[in-house]
Chain A
């Protein structure tokens, strides 16, 4: 058959597409379980990290999560409660608009909702190297053990770019050069703090 004839062209295109899609769906089939597991694992890790719970490896993270953490959905909030021995902590999954897309993560509180235990991120689409730096350790550490007061968290005017680690004030140092992302993130966190205080019934 002439390889440039119309019939051949159509047949060829169909055949090659068919073969490729077949092989691709095979590869998709053998990797999809693992990929899903990775997604769940990153959520689990974010929750554990925000609560400042230590785990040695992925397996231990799973174990801790399945044994000590309970999930419930209250008024559109995804709430994860951790209890082991005398320790209790609560985390919610937050999601809101950053500069370019959604910022999603886990925000953890102590059981009285009087203090933030920490924050960790699940996904964000901010500018790499700028807004994306909210995932860096120094930035996240600012939220550790931050006392929740009447005043919402706000960006500090004392900009050192190195982080403010005062658990008693309501100031957070923004990422240098990423004031928009930092502002949007604080808006999201503040709105969730408010929601959590309402839903979990603490005045």
Chain B
């Protein structure tokens, strides 16, 4: 077990090759669920676990998959884990399942999962792929949580459904609506790109 490799993958997936603000993947759900921190955390856990397990499975059977059906088999494996996550949510945390609704199913089409499967799992051993999945998920999670924190605090006055803002605070309704997610993500990219570009990482 090469610890260095694992650490490199982690740092890449968290910063220099972050799925959200560098690769610009997985945006759909990034924006849709981030007006509430709890929902975001659950969604991000779902993405992390699904990516990790599907990466693992795909990497484990990559030598058995016929070329022609590669994409569809990957989608099948991804759907498999997402459905299990969805069943689990519906049974044990129904309130969240109701709120997240179709967005859990949409994890299947989340570009991050497909992207990591193609870019990493197809060419790397299973355990490493699992780790890549976890670290990509974590990279995704902290970006979403930052946006969700801002949106929930300014849009509802709460964090994790606990009221933090004083009663006189007038909530910024726009934070609850669609455009704020775009703005916040754009600003986040702006803030992060600066140091990234300086580091010499020439990612467009």
Contacts and interface: CB of A to CB of B under 8 A. Distances in A.
B94 interface: yes
B155 A129 contact: yes
11 contacts: A3-B64, A17-B76, A20-B77, A24-B80, A24-B83, A27-B83, A27-B84, A32-B91, A35-B90, A129-B35, A130-B177
A136 B173 CA distance: 15
B94 to A, nearest CB: 4
Contacts of A130: 176-177
B64 A12 contact: yes
Contacts of A32: 91
Interface in B60-81: 63-69, 72-73, 76-77, 80
A47 B68 CA distance: 54
Given A38-B90, A38-B94, A130-B177, 5 more contacts: A3-B65, A4-B68, A12-B69, A31-B87, A35-B91
A8 B72 CA distance: 15
B92 interface: yes
Contact of A34 (B65, B67, B91): B91
A24 B86 CA distance: 11
Contacts, number: 64
Interface of A: 3-4, 8-9, 12-13, 16-17, 20, 23-24, 27-28, 31-32, 34-35, 38-39, 42, 123, 128-130, 176-177
Contact of A9 (B63, B66, B77, B173): B66
B188 interface: no
B192 interface: no
Contacts of B90: 31, 35, 38
B76 A20 contact: yes
Contacts of B80: 20, 23-24
Interface string B7-24: 000000000000000000
